[in-house]
Amino acid sequence: MDDNTAQAAAAAAGPPEIPGDPLALERQVCFALSIAARSVLSVYRPLLEPMGLTHPQYLVMLALWGKSPLAVKELIEMLQLDGPTLSPLLKRLEAAGLVTRTRDPQDERQLRVDLTPRGGELRADALRIPPSVVAKLGMSLGDLEELHKGLTAVNDAARRAGVKPLPAPAADSV
């Protein structure tokens, strides 16, 4: 049975029976994800501050260090953000001299985002972030890679269920 068939069968069978108290706070996936997200972001914050980046800005820069230039539409898809959330991030990065935003000469409706030389050079500083995060968390790289796989599966399942990504939290949120 493939994944789609298994999902269809599970949906037809109705919701699963959950033993014990299904509303216990400590059993909630949403609660564990929320606490984990805040905790992990608090590990990133002091590492990113010397670079002048917030975590959402760091995600934009990661996308651009992977491929640049990118259309705003591509960034929205890659980062699973909406336009009104991404736009102020790009404006702040542009004001900091890390990116440029220009109209695509082939399609004036499209806005392209590109790294400035300074934005490209910042990548060398960012190379210290992943190993520092691994060290601060005190987890093995293998455990973190497995966690990443599991979270990616949860995100994929939510998208298949028709859930649209929520806007990113404000830069100053915990």
Q: In the predicted model, is pLDDT for residue 2 greater than 70?
A: no
- Render pLDDT for 129-144 as a digit per residue (tens, 0 to 9): 999 999 999 999 999 9
Question: In degrees rounded to 5, what are phi and psi of residue 114?
Answer: -135, 155
Are 56 and 89 within 8 A, CB to CB? yes
Residue 137 shares a structural domain with residue 111? no
In-domain check, residue 31: no
Give residue 163's domain range.
Answer: 128-167
Residue 168: which of 106, 51, 85 has the closest Cα? 85
119-147-45-125 Cα dihedral, nearest 10 degrees: -30
In-domain check, residue 24: no
How many residues does this entry show for the chain?
174
- Render pLDDT for 19-30 as a digit per residue (tens, 0 to 9): 888 889 999 999
- What angle, rounded to 10 degrees, do the helices at 55-66 and 29-48 form? 80
DSSP 20: S
How much is the pTM?
A: 0.81
